[in-house]
Amino acid sequence: SGTPRGRGPCPAVPQVLRSCTEFVEQHGVVDGIYRLSGVSSNIQRLRQEFEAQRRPELLRDVYLQDVHCVSSLCKAYCRELPNPLLTYQLYDKFA
């Protein structure tokens, strides 16, 4: 997933997005996973862990019990991108 055959992980996808989406796919298939927000203190803790280390341990109880904090961080990261995923240049083609 995201890895071209014979190569390492795609460097264009930040580790925070890879880790969060993998976690959500494995542990967060619940109603409203991207609609409901997680506990803000858990989101901030997770953000700080990603900033301090490249890949924090997402299987800790705090994140397993509040899977919405992982999806909330993923959404926040996407909102903060300088150019959105549906880029300004290609927006008309997407719409």
Query: Is the predicted pLDDT of residue 26 greater than 50, yes or no?
Result: yes
Q: Spell out the domain ranges in the chain.
A: 15-93
What share of residues in the chain are helix, strand, coil (percent, to 5)?
Answer: 55, 0, 45
Q: What is the mean pLDDT of residues 15-22?
A: 92
Coil vs helix vs strand at 42 = helix
pLDDT tens sequence across 33-66: 999 999 999 999 999 999 998 789 999 999 999 9
Q: Considering only the top CATH level, what class is 15-93?
A: mainly alpha
pTM, whole model, 2 decimals?
A: 0.77
Which one is predicted more confidently, 53 or 2? 53
